[in-house]
Amino acid sequence: MTNIHHKIMRRVYYIYTLRHLKHPLSVHSAVVAVCLLVLSRVVSIPDVFANMLEVRVGELANFWINAFLNTGTMTLVLVGVIMLMALSLPWRIKSYEMDELMFRVN
């Protein structure tokens, strides 16, 4: 009896885990985490913040504009993907909830 119980519960845990992994928040978080990891390998983030602290407050916008204009393509792509993930998350969660609601109704 316990062997059957373990097999059934293993399948329940497996399905539970897969359902949570397909949630948009999980997918977006994984993409952002990978992008941040790669970005930390490409750009020295502590040095960027150290340089930012040396700039006057009024020139902070110019600092960021110059930083992005003088950076590599990989950095721009990573920052773009992170921004896209952040902006698309609310829309994707709303769409996911509607899909789940329609699934439960049918």
Give residue for tokens 């397909």. 22
Whole-model pTM over 0.85: no
Does residue 7 form part of some domain? no
Number of compact structural domains in the chain = 1
* Domain encompassing residue 100: 24-105
Does residue 8 form part of some domain? no
Phi, psi of 55 (to 5 degrees): -90, 145
- The residue-averaged pLDDT of 93-103 equals 73
Does residue 70 form part of some domain? yes
Given a cut of 70, whether residue 63 has pLDDT beyond it is: yes
> Could you give the angle at the alpha carbon of 43 between the alpha carbons of 37 and 47, nearest 5°?
120
Closest by CA position to 52, among listed 38, 74, 43, 36: 43
Given a cut of 90, whether residue 81 has pLDDT beyond it is: yes
- Tell me how far apart the alpha carbons of residues 27 and 106 are, in angstroms, rounded to a whole number: 26
More confident residue, 13 or 91: 13
Does residue 49 form part of some domain? yes
Does residue 62 form part of some domain? yes
Q: What is the pLDDT of residues 13-48, one digit of tens each?
A: 998 888 888 888 888 889 999 999 999 999 998 998
Does residue 81 form part of some domain? yes
What pLDDT, on the 0 to 100 scale, is given for residue 106?
58
